[in-house]
Amino acid sequence: MSVVFLEESPTPIYARIARALGQELARRGHEVMLVKPSGFSTATFPEFLRGQQGAVYLSTAGSNVIQQRAEGRPGHFFEEFPGRLVFLHQDALLGGLSFEAAQSRLRAWQRVAGRSAHLCIEPDSVSALAAVGIGHAAWVPHASEFAATTPLDTADCRHGASFVGHALPWSYQPRMANASLEQLLGGLLEQRSAQLDTALHPALLPWVDRSLSAFSGMPDASDVAVSRQAYVHWLRGQCNLRTMAFRGRLLEQAAAAGMTDVTVYGGDPAYLHRVDRQATLGHGIRHEPPVYDDAAVHGIYRSSACSINISSLQFDHAVVNRVHDVFMAGGLCLTDRRPGLPELTREHADISYATPDELHDRVRHFSDPRHASQRRALIAAVQRDVMAHSGYPKVVDGIEQVLARM
């Protein structure tokens, strides 16, 4: 058994993930130590890290302090840690980083490759790491903290179709200053909007390769490989900045096609930045304040005839934890079609949609009390599949397997 340091996160979703992982690791006999970065300074944190010989540090988010660059030092904080490192990538591999910061982090990961491992929910992330010579990487599923709950009858649901999260009108999407890049990204999002299982990553690589071939300052093959991954992930990040507007457009398109009784919990994220704004969607879509309390979210999922998931544009393959959460809470989740969905459940065709019209059709079908028995049976079947194919025990299995190989 190992001593595992697990970093506390101020972000609710990452805090939930860390808490659940810590409980499962402790259940298996590992000694789990919670690290609170707020209790350290930039001087004392590296000192603490350097003193942990023989331990494991588990980072559950790219925003964790251990993954940041140490101010006034040449590398990242994790390079100061002498033990084994496990990076759990619940989001895009290099999400939110600039091109230069992505290059820097990839090179730092290369320097610790012999004593580190990466667990990713996106298969593209495993391939990206392999492309820069980082071989200790594997795919893991997402998970839910909710226990399986018996579904309500459709007639007893208090809500129609619910969307919990942030969504904006299409006009609020950011634009690229570079006209050619804007044409590229805008065209890809139009394709994805028309067919929701369209992959973005492969379509961005030709642009990246053409751009790098025109630059003669990288004679070393390793530099080219790192720059290629940093650039394509930066472009993925630019796509992801349009996720909220993309979600709003999809909801409005489905509502315009006839989808009724839709409520958005969250909507405009301006409040997170203390901006006094409330951009709302049209076509009769209602808006309610954001909900963060786990019990309240569980209640919305269970008491909605349908919960809608629209995956972040950072993902091409992954089935995100919202899908797991809704079903485990006893609700029915309708999700945009992902390549990873058949790996999770045999019921993938019934719970997914590839176009706004398909979303409208499925919401209408499963909101009809005449299909209540089909809805209840479908929820129960997906719950069984989720428990069989995902969950924190399987994530910890992955952690223990990569530790055994290091």
CATH classification at residue 248? 3.40.50.2000
Q: Has residue 149 been placed in a domain? A: no
**Whether residue 267 is found in the same domain as residue 165:** yes
- Are residues 375 and 263 located together in one domain of the fold? yes
Q: Are residues 371 and 334 in the same domain?
A: yes
Q: Is residue 197 part of a domain?
A: yes
pLDDT tens track, the chain, 406 positions: 799 999 998 888 888 899 999 999 999 999 999 999 889 988 899 999 999 999 999 999 999 999 998 777 789 999 999 999 999 999 989 988 999 999 999 999 999 999 999 999 999 999 999 999 999 999 999 999 999 999 999 999 999 999 999 999 999 999 999 999 999 999 999 999 999 999 999 999 999 999 888 775 655 666 889 999 999 999 999 999 999 999 999 999 999 999 999 999 999 999 888 898 999 999 999 999 999 899 999 999 999 999 999 999 999 999 999 999 999 999 999 999 999 999 999 999 999 999 999 999 999 999 999 999 999 999 999 999 999 999 999 999 999 999 998 8
Number of domains in the chain: 3
Q: What is the 3-state secondary structure (H, E, C) of the chain?
A: CCEEEEECCCCHHHHHHHHHHHHHHHHCCCEEEEECHHHCCCCHHHHHHHCCCCCEEEECCCCCHHHCECCCCCCEHHHHCCCEEEEEECCCCCCCCCHHHHHHHHHHHHHCHHHEEEEECCHHHHHHHHHCCCCCEEECCCCCCCCCCCCCCHHHCCEEEEEEEECCCHHHCCCCCCHHHHHHHHHHHHHHHHCCCCCCHHHHHHHHHHHHHCCCCCCCHHHHHHHHHHHHHHHHHHHHCCHHHHHHHHHHHHHHCCCCCEEEEEECHHHHHCCCCCCCCCCCCEEECCCCCHHHHHHHHHCEEEEEECCCCCCCCCCCHHHHHHHHCCCCEEEECCCCHHHHCCCCCCCEECCHHHHHHHHHHHHCHHHHHHHHHHHHHHHHHHHHHCCHHHHHHHHHHHHHCC
Final residue before a domain boundary, out of 240, 261, 281: 240
Residue 227 lies in a domain: yes
- Which of 195, 220, 240 is the last residue before a domain boundary? 240
Q: Are residues 16 and 125 in the same domain?
A: yes
Q: Are residues 164 and 306 in the same domain?
A: yes
Same-domain pairing of 331 and 192:
no
Residue 359 within any structural domain of the chain: yes
Give a yes or no: residue 296 inside a domain: yes
Contacts of 359 (CB under 8 A, 6+ apart): 250, 254, 259, 308, 334, 353
Domain boundary among 209, 240, 271: 240
**Domain co-membership, 44 together with 188:** no
Shared domain for 158 and 214, answered yes or no, is: no
Judgement on whether residues 124 and 39 belong to the same structural domain of the protein: yes
Q: Are residues 235 and 249 in the same domain?
A: no
Judge if 126 and 231 occupy the same domain: no
Residue 159 lies inside a defined structural domain of this protein: yes
Which residue segment(s) compose the domain that 88 sits in?
A: 3-143+393-404
**Does residue 35 fall inside a structural domain?**
yes
355 belongs to a structural domain? yes
* Whether 211 and 354 share a structural domain: no
